[in-house]
Amino acid sequence: MERTPRLNFVHTELLEVLPTTAQVAAGSGLVLVVDDEEQNRSLLRDPLEARGYEVVEAENGLVALHLIAGRPPDVILLDVMMPHMDGFEVCRTLKNDPKTAHIPILMVTALSDRKERLMGIGAGANDFLNKPVDFQDVILRVANARHTKGLFDQLQEEQKRSDRLLLNILPEPVAARMKNGEVTIVERFAEVTVMFADLVGFTTLAAHIGCETMVYFLNEIFSRFDALADKHGLEKIKTIGDAYMVVAGIPLPRPDHARAVANLALDLREDLAKFNSQYETSMHLRIGIHTGPVIAGVIGRRKFAYDVWGDTVNVASRLESLGEPGEIQVSESIYDRLHSQFRFDGKHELQIKGRDEVIAWWLRGPA
């Protein structure tokens, strides 16, 4: 009977010196108070709200877990002695779940026995508050826990930003291997399809427009190409000036690599026609495609690049450079795989340095 008046006295005294919510910066954090006694919850809630925190309450562990699943709090004040599901069990449940393990849990307990404290630490508790509570202690410990949670959130955001930057440079499976500590990443692929696409007319256009417009156009075109490559599940390797290089079948092999690249090539040509209409330009794509083995890997120590090498790459590049503006020139290896699915014509021979004559075809469209 003496406990409640003493708590109310400390509570009132503290409210007189705490700043109002308006004096506290917005977004101080969400605190979940878990206790089976309403009076205890209110005694914790009022000074926290006066300090600028948003407070939600749960009368037992099951309700707390439901609230946390819907909206994870920044800090949890968790009573130990509760019916059905005590604070230790709630704490263990939260700490065993990767989605909630990082949330600071302050266990509110009247237990002072060392064994009980060790049980709380074993369950994953971050801190303890003794009953009867000292409200200044509550405010300071919650603020410290909220600050720690904020630092963790910042670290997570930086990690996500770092991962996004890495994925802009490397394919996801390769990036994952590098994050796991692999230093040398190189693989041989028995059969992939390589495509080079060159913007014919861009150099002439660039000589007549400002540098900002030139970069804007190039970025707009290649961004649209990137979206189409993603749509077809293909890996853009790099841009080389105003040329664009894509490979299908790496870093994960796929049986339809030739068909996927052929579809992409037709989409790129169509998309550039739309760009020309939109911006009143007159550029064309000259595209070369070839299938064969390659070696792929990561080079660089400070600036990483995922690249591919081999005769297949060289042939695809030459098919592009020896092609015609607006046309898609493919090797016979592409024709052999796709002649039943696409229309080809104009069989011809090409002289490529260092090789015998190469048989080539013009890809016209779907069959």
CATH number of the domain that 325 lies in?
3.30.70.1230
Same domain, 140 and 191: no
**Given pLDDT bands bounded at 50, 70 and 90, which one contains residue 111?**
low
Instruction: Kindly report which listed range (24-33, 46-55, 113-122) carries the lowest average pLDDT score.
Output: 24-33
C-alpha–C-alpha distance, residues 362 and 17, integer Å: 82
The residue from 115, 139, 167 where one domain ends is 167
Query: pLDDT tens for residues 72-105?
Result: 999 999 998 888 889 999 999 999 999 999 999 9
Same domain, 109 and 222: no
Q: Which DSSP letter does residue 23 get?
A: G
Q: What is the DSSP string of 264-280?
A: HHHHHHHHHHHHHHHHT
The residue from 167, 188, 211 where one domain ends is 167
Dump strand ranges (E) for the chain.
30-34, 54-58, 75-79, 105-109, 127-130, 186-200, 235-240, 243-248, 284-299, 305-309, 328-331, 342-350, 358-366
Within 10 A of 196 (CB to CB), how many other CB atoms are there?
Answer: 23
* 68 close to 104: Cβ distance less than 8 angstroms: no
CA 367 to chain centre: 38
Same domain, 106 and 14: yes
Same domain, 125 and 26: yes
Same domain, 204 and 312: yes
C-alpha–C-alpha distance, residues 153 and 158, integer Å: 9
Query: pLDDT tens for residues 247-278?
Result: 999 999 999 999 999 999 999 999 999 999 99
Same domain, 220 and 362: yes
The residue from 120, 143, 167 where one domain ends is 167
- Please report, for the domain that includes residue 82, its CATH number: 3.40.50.2300
130: left (phi over 0), alpha (psi -120 to 50) or beta: beta
Same domain, 88 and 158: yes
Same domain, 76 and 139: yes
How many folded domains does the chain comprise? 2
Q: Is residue 293 part of a domain?
A: yes
Backbone φ, ψ for residue 201 (5° rounding): 100, -10
The pTM score is 0.64
* 63 close to 76: Cβ distance less than 8 angstroms: no
Q: Is residue 172 part of a domain?
A: no
Same domain, 106 and 153: yes
Which residue range is the domain that position 345 belongs to? 177-366
C-alpha–C-alpha distance, residues 362 and 331, integer Å: 9
Which of 83, 73, 28 minimizes the C-alpha distance to 51? Answer: 28
Within 10 A of 113 (CB to CB), how many other CB atoms are there?
Answer: 9
Same domain, 120 and 248: no
Q: Which DSSP letter does residue 25 get?
A: P
Query: pLDDT tens for residues 164-199?
Result: 777 777 788 888 887 777 778 889 999 999 999 999
